[in-house]
Structure 1
Amino acid sequence: MFDGIQRRLVSVWFPRLASDRVLRLCPIEGPFVLTLKQQNANRIYCLNDAALREGLHRGMSYADARAFCPELQSQEAAPEQDQRFLRVLVRWAERYCPWVGLEEDNGLVMDITGSSHLFGGEAALLADMRARLMRAGVSVQLGLADTRGAAWALARHGEGVAPSGAALSAIKTLPVAALRIDDKTSLSLQRLGLRTIGDLAGAARGPLTRRFGPSLLMRLDQALGDLGEEISPHAPPPHYAVRMTLPEPIGLIGDVTAGTERLLQQLCSKLKDQEMGARQLCLTLRRVDQGHQQVELRLARALRDAQRILPLFERGLSEIDAGFGIDQMRLEATQVEVVPVKQISHVADGSKDQVDDLISRLGTRIGLESILRFLPADSHIPERSFLLAAAAYSDPAPPWGMGQSRPICLFPAEAMAATGPHPPKRFRWRRMSLSTARVTGPERIAPEWWLEDENWRSGLRDYWQVDTHQGRRLWLFHTPQNPGWFVQGEFA
């Protein structure tokens, strides 16, 4: 009790949270399960009512489930998406009370002390919650009591309401597993004849403590309210936004830039405290005529340095129309990333920061996705030895450790007139007559047999570097299995 008011807690249990999340977006008729690989086997992670009626259960092998139910439909589980959905439900539950916390991986705990009268009482509040969740396609079981342990037990083993000060009478008929104890302890208690919470509460405490340790009676005392239990609400995620209201409207670019700099300093200070960096920023300018203008900035790297970010706003600020003046400015980091603190070194190289700033500047004009870089790929086939990636969303690769040199210009293989296994002394290519000056090679490359590639159906290739008297440095290859000569690249 606090301030003369008895605390009232609601335990909200979503028995089919994962499957409900999927079926809300894509309804499926009939048995449906989500599977997850556990202990080197694909097992049922969550299932709907139709699958339960077929005799399936959690932890069951998916192969056995298909044998029992041939029409079973399935999908791979995504626990991280389930947790995001649960955090969305936390925000939804705050409409009933300001104190909402997470309970395990599929439940919530709510402190409705002093707020139930706003919804017509406890029964009306629970009925409203159940109706709204059922309409949204989310299965739920609710328990209400003075303690968290009793509310948890009622939600998962009976779904009911314990009157104030009567926790024991409300949960005494429930099984001992409702005390949040492990399965081994629960089975041992049942073998001793202690099958319900009432049986356990009436048993001698000394022998129970000697046999099961203090944790069993601690859970019992917490459920009955004889022992306090520390609980904390779910902390909302930090909001990275700052705002400034101006006493007089402004319209000059210099004034707007100065205001933006001040907002950036405040925002970067907040980001630094959380070890985060902004990847995307949105500056909203409100005019005196209630109109709004926005300047968006996407960065090649997550930053929290106001002096580096401010010049990148220059182009966007130069295009704003202040109208009769701007009286409010708001800056928000709409996308953030973790940027841990780094050790400062006297040999730090700022060239990488300059490249990132250049990519950000170019990205404001042509889009960050249009700026690409080459990265090495794990393949010895020339055409597959590299890949293209957006420079803003990839890190530069270390120097390519290739044992053999490669031409700077690579193109599809072009046939040339020549015979024999060695490069000819004279040959024609692209209507040019060339004569060989120096030859290096061969380098034999075998096709990747596990991939289908029409260009490599001729089999092995022997590559040669050929320097010509005319100044061309070409990359030629010969196909021994299907004799022929081709040019595929040119060195600088």
Structure 2
Amino acid sequence: MFDGHKKRVVCMWFPRLASDRVLRARPIDAPFVLTFNQKSTDRIYCLNRQAEALGLHRGMSFADARAFCPTLVSQPARPDLDARFLSTLRRWATRYCPWVGREGVDGLVLDVTGSTHLWGDEAAMLDDMRLRAQRAAITLRLGLGDTRGAAWALAHYGGTTGALAPLPVAALRLDTATITALQRLGLRSIGDLATRPRAPLARRFGPDLLTRLDQALGHLQETINPDPDPPHYGVRLTFPDPIGLLPDVMAATARLLATLCDKLKAQEAGARKLMLTLRRVDQGSQQVELRLASAMRDPARILPLFERGLGSVDVGFGIDVMRLQAVVVEPLPVQQIGTVSPRQPDQLNDLISRLGTRIGLENIQRFLPADSHIPERSFSIAPAAFSDPDSNWISHRPRPLRLFAPEPIGAKGAQPPARFRWRRMALTTGRAIGPERIAPEWWLEDDNWRSGLRDYWKIDTREGRRLWLFHTPQNPGWFVQGEFI
């Protein structure tokens, strides 16, 4: 019979969490390791079973590992993706109980008190956990105990269930220095530690040692704090009678937007991508996707952007359900309102969003400064919706607004020509400012700069043209590369 007062805790330990994450997506039948850089040395972060069988271990130098196993396959470690994978496993574990928390970076802890009878008994529940993990190609070790500390100890150093006394003192979740000091004193197991007087242990090792011991033995309570579920940015609207007219659909979209934007405001977030799903009475559905140039949560600004997409929707015999979801969300913190209104880019972002619904956000681009003194490399082109124009253009010399490929002109000498022809025009030099010598970036391959140095001049012609000319001393010649407007 189930004892409602007896607490039962399960610890899920994934000893190969990082490598299992990678190998599930791309299986490799060979020794495999993930590496990380520590003090300018690549070391093993995680490894699969085949690599462990060869004697490799975590923290081992990657160079030494390659010497042991020349066929070793490796990839850089990604702790951020591992944390995301553990979050996915945490959501999966809620099928066994609602109280699931993290246990370090590679484990979970479940308070299964009152839940085990749903699976028949504790053994059946643990078997189900093992089976599902095996099907998902995830290495899993389990521990079941009356306390969180006991479950952790059994998962890492013992079987699924059993006594704690024979387990090593490392099973108490102690730091390495404390474990080493206890072993030197001959206290190698939890049983050895539990039978010793507490006062000398507290004086020598501090209160943490006895706290961990009491937590494992159940003398001190240890709570399990489950991670909060991430906010869900989706709203739904059901109609008693189907709708089909565009004004009615727009009005329903406005109601959905108001509710969704309230959720976004409560979380200080803004939507970058919205998905509106319209389900018809014949069970068919259509979707309208809206991508925004910046994070927004203002219904009045977002609603007009839906009109074009909704105008092309085939409503059939009517729409009875509408669902709006913010697919991509970005932080949008509340800003302090001052007495002087700062310049806001809202109008530009709204224009980019409106144009993006017609031609695509990727096709609206802007120039961004690049760290190079070579004229052709001093800028980059990026989609305006996915780049921030907060960098200033820094140039010690003026640069022309129009820049094109160098065009040769028939001129000789190292000084700017008094007269020259360019694009079938006869031009006369009125004023010449320069030279500005620019050397090629030798570390980059660029066929246009193989001629070597360039001496640039700003030429104001009497005919009104303001050109940017350069002379190549190594292979004498004059070229026009830009025009000032």
TM class by smaller structure: over 0.9
User: How do 1:65-76 and structure 2 match up within 5 A?
Assistant: 65-76=65-76
**Aligned counterpart, 2:258:** 265
Q: Which runs of 5+ in 2 are unaligned?
A: none
**Aligned counterpart, 1:98:** 98
**Aligned counterpart, 1:166:** none
**Aligned counterpart, 1:128:** 128
| Distance change (3 Å), C-alpha of 1:60 and 1:115 | same
CA contact (8 A) 1:14 1:106 kept: yes
CA contact (8 A) 2:430 2:459 kept: yes
TM-score between the two structures when normalised by the length of structure 2: 0.96
**Aligned counterpart, 2:197:** 204
Instruction: State whether structure 2 residue 84 is matched by structure 1 residue 84.
Output: yes
Percent identity over paired residues: 67
2:345 partner SS: helix
Instruction: State whether structure 2 residue 147 is matched by structure 1 residue 154.
Output: no
Instruction: State whether structure 2 residue 403 is matched by structure 1 residue 406.
Output: no
Q: Letter of the aligned partner of 2:99 in structure 1?
A: W
Q: 1 CA distance for matches of 2:182 and 2:391? A: 61
1:7 partner SS: coil
**Aligned counterpart, 2:246:** 253
Instruction: State the 1:319 CA deviation.
Output: 2.1
1:304 aligned to 285, 297, 317, which one?
297
Q: Letter of the aligned partner of 1:111 in structure 2?
A: D
CA contact (8 A) 2:369 2:391 kept: no
**Aligned counterpart, 1:173:** 166
**Aligned counterpart, 1:19:** 19
For residues 246-304 of structure 1, the C-alpha deviation after alignment (integer angstroms, 9 at most, x for no partner) is 23332222222222112111111111111111111111222233222222111000111
Instruction: State the 1:108 CA deviation.
Output: 0.9
Q: 2 CA distance for matches of 1:18 and 1:328? A: 42
Q: Which runs of 5+ in 1 are unaligned?
A: 163-169
**Aligned counterpart, 1:190:** 183
Q: Letter of the aligned partner of 2:457 in structure 1?
A: W
Instruction: State the 1:419 CA deviation.
Output: 0.6
| Distance change (3 Å), C-alpha of 1:262 and 1:350 | farther
Q: 1 CA distance for matches of 2:3 and 2:205? A: 37
User: How do 1:220-231 and structure 2 match up within 5 A?
Assistant: 220-231=213-224
2:187 partner SS: coil
**Aligned counterpart, 1:61:** 61
1:171 partner SS: coil
For residues 146-167 of structure 1, the C-alpha deviation after alignment (integer angstroms, 9 at most, x for no partner) is 11100000000023224xxxxx
Q: 1 CA distance for matches of 2:240 and 2:313? A: 20
Q: 2 CA distance for matches of 1:397 and 1:459? A: 34
1:128 partner SS: helix
Q: 2 CA distance for matches of 1:372 and 1:72? A: 44
Instruction: State the 1:227 CA deviation.
Output: 0.9
Q: 1 CA distance for matches of 2:419 and 2:114? A: 96
Instruction: State the 1:3 CA deviation.
Output: 8.2
CA contact (8 A) 1:376 1:397 kept: no
Q: Letter of the aligned partner of 1:246 in structure 2?
A: F
**Aligned counterpart, 1:143:** 143
Q: 2 CA distance for matches of 1:77 and 1:16? A: 12
| Distance change (3 Å), C-alpha of 1:398 and 1:15 | closer
Q: 2 CA distance for matches of 1:224 and 1:257? A: 62
Higher alpha-carbon deviation: 393-402 or 13-22? 393-402
CA contact (8 A) 1:101 1:233 kept: yes
User: How do 1:341-360 and structure 2 match up within 5 A?
Assistant: 341-349=334-342, 351-360=344-353
Instruction: State the 1:435 CA deviation.
Output: 2.1
Instruction: State the 1:398 CA deviation.
Output: 4.4
**Aligned counterpart, 1:35:** 35
Calculate the aligned-residue CA RMSD, in Å.
1.7
| Distance change (3 Å), C-alpha of 1:399 and 1:183 | closer
Q: 2 CA distance for matches of 1:109 and 1:399? A: 50
